[in-house]
Structure 1
Amino acid sequence: MHWFVAKVVYQIICGEGNHTPQFDEQLRLISAVTKKDACDKAREIGMQEQYAFKNQQQELVQWKFINVPEVYTLDQLTDGMELYSRIEEPGDPNSYIAWLQMKSAQLQGQQYFELNV
């Protein structure tokens, strides 16, 4: 068996879909014999984990599986190894950096809370 990282992509559709298109790109760790097996397994996961629910406005929100566009072989797992990289080109770099700093602060606060509970 080998380890693979597969990108599983869902489209998020709210109501009739009259909104800014949203896609959720998930990285999944897959154990499989071959890259093809890993791709098939990731597609199966993507299909099985589609779901829908009603939001507070009673609109249907769907996570629709699109496909698995990328699968990478992990030759060996090592501490700190890079699993994925994506270059962002935000319209407002300062807002993007502020958002990243806020998310990091929330994560650190959550970790502090978990340690003290």
Structure 2
Amino acid sequence: MNTKIVCNQHIWFTVSLIYEMDINNQKITNDGSWEESILLIDALSSEDAIEKAILLGKKKEIEYSNSYNEHCQWRFIGVANCYQILDEEIGEGCEVFSRFLRPEEGKSLLTPFES
């Protein structure tokens, strides 16, 4: 995660949140049981961005019954990453997230989920 950045103006960050799915209060092991959600956060520092993201992550937890009448719950696990956006202006073409990948990660991202 970023080191502490403090100034008098707001800074844009992308924060990666991790969620895990439980069905009937049990962890599931299939490929669709985890979610990464990347949010755009306006904050004064990376610590402030993480605090905001944690609050948003907890608010976005959901519960519902699926078509098999099973209780499904997406639980917020935590913040995986926080990156400051370096572009001076936020708009079309602005890079909001980038990372280097291992070969297996790149292949995994290109492999669609089976339904």
Shared fold (TM-score, shorter chain, > 0.5): yes
Normalised by the size of structure 1, how large is the TM-score? 0.69
**Aligned mates of 1:48, 1:35 — CA distance in 2:** 20
Structure 1 gaps of 5+ residues are: 101-117
Which residue number in structure 2 is paired with residue 27 of structure 1? 38
Structure 2 gaps of 5+ residues are: 1-9
Which residue number in structure 1 is paired with residue 7 of structure 2? none
**Aligned mates of 1:73, 1:19 — CA distance in 2:** 33
Q: How does 1:103-114 map to 2 (within 5 A)?
A: none
Higher helix proportion (structure 1 or 2): 1
Count of equivalent residues? 97
Tell me how far 1:13 sits from its aligned partner.
1.2
**Aligned mates of 1:67, 1:45 — CA distance in 2:** 11
Tell me how far 1:96 sits from its aligned partner.
7.3
Judging changes above 3 Å, is the alpha-carbon distance between structure 1 residues 59 and 5 closer, same or farther for their aligned structure 2 residues?
same
Q: Residue 68 in 1 paired to residue 82 in 2?
A: no
The answer on whether the counterparts of 1:2 and 1:33 sit within 8 Å (CA) in structure 2 is yes
Q: Residue 44 in 1 paired to residue 44 in 2?
A: no
Which residue number in structure 2 is paired with residue 5 of structure 1? 14
Q: Rg: which structure is higher? A: 1
Provide the identity percentage: 24
Judging changes above 3 Å, is the alpha-carbon distance between structure 1 residues 27 and 98 closer, same or farther for their aligned structure 2 residues?
closer
2:66 to 43, 49, 55: 55
Q: Which amino acid aligns with 1:11?
A: E
**Aligned mates of 2:35, 2:104 — CA distance in 1:** 17
What is the root-mean-square deviation of aligned Cα atoms in Å? 2.7
Q: Return structure 1 stretches of 4+ with deviation > 4 angstroms.
A: 95-98
